[in-house]
Structure 1
């Protein structure tokens, strides 16, 4: 198939799914609001049930809900009728996803879901199905056309299910005033969580190069050279007096033929940029980028505690 034909087919697929999402948006009504209220009022968790492609959608819904403050658990319909129904408690709400609403596993399972949980929400494309008949609330996900060229593979239907699940999660987030600080609590290992919670102190270099104001040129060069950062900090009992970079040393060597009597105080740049060790790492990154520098001096209550490096932050996903 030629490139133009492939692109046209892809665009047609997207157009169909976009159209079905528009239909979904336009038919949202009080049933959606009731579903949100039932989930929000539950003293237990939300159990999401599905089979086939709807099971994959359900797993994604559960992941989104859990990460945004709504406790949820996935239950596969085929496993549920063979023992896993025990995960459902009376205080739980069940959301059962089935496009047809009449698959054998769902039909067998629905009466038990209804009796075991506090409420049953159905997400189905068939308002006349066995699933719909048993539900307290029905969320209509019917589609006029699948994006699949032979109209058989779940495409538009699963897109609509996924989008409606996202809409539920977003509304529950807003109702519960779920904010970035809450999101970070559930994502401590990823770059999102690190950018929201990680402190400068977590990324301090193992090296803490420093010299005194009276240090000789040789001592300064040794300190800068032994530091992987290419800098050394001039201190007086951990009070920061200045900073010396390898560039400062080169400029000093070019300006002086006689190095005797020159000390760190003569070479250093005063008032260097610094940051408190309990500040957010993303704030350190902001300073590094704005000032176009590679390192930042770290302090605690005004005293020198170490160096934080641009490349270390980048490696850790801090942006």
Structure 2
């Protein structure tokens, strides 16, 4: 009887070990086979903005690199927070990814505990683009320089309206920094995305705009661009001074990339990283970006994580001071 019980327990143990090994093998095989079905690439802004433009540029290359269909969807709202909140709650299997923007994914959770997501719930896959932010007015405004703009703003404190994309975003932070350093008061008007923001401004709904370099380049004949982000003058705006050149301690930019929910298997993250970096290294794509007013980046998952941590440390004291 004792011998039979021993055999029974041994059989059960071997069966359990076999099942566990099978599960591990299945999981490993699943990661190795990734992707084996359609993927979703969600843009947390409206169609037509910079994030959408880049996703569309990557689209056919992504499908080729990954060997599966990729569907681009949109979830605008809250300067990206609505879409990122949805993304972090998706199954962490790599089949649902989202465009991410820095400093948005840092500033929003830092400034509001009810944002719906935390920065560390997003696993960055790659950063592939940087976009300087510039301040502009329409040519007919009569404002020709930053000095003119500051003077007008001080004549009517809080009356000069400035369009931006989202709250506690790169545009919003740039406005707050400018207000503080120039000792003036402006009225920030947030929109759900760059496309809506630009059209509202061009339609006369605001006096000025803090816009991405690509949009400024597209409409440069209708604008007076007063200052722009960057450590040095940009090739596509050789006559526009940077904020730093004008004496402002600020370098407003938006970095774009793609992320997945935290907990996504490392092998899956690496597979997506490989695909996005392969596209980022494409010389034709880099040339297109520069022609359109973007600055190419090639940052993988680990480097992106380190960069985000670095930016968090930089932005935390600034945000506390500006709140």
Shorter chain as denominator, the TM-score bin is under 0.3
- Tell which has more relative contact order, 1 or 2 (C-alpha 8 A, sep 6+): 2
Q: Which has the larger radius of gyration?
A: 1
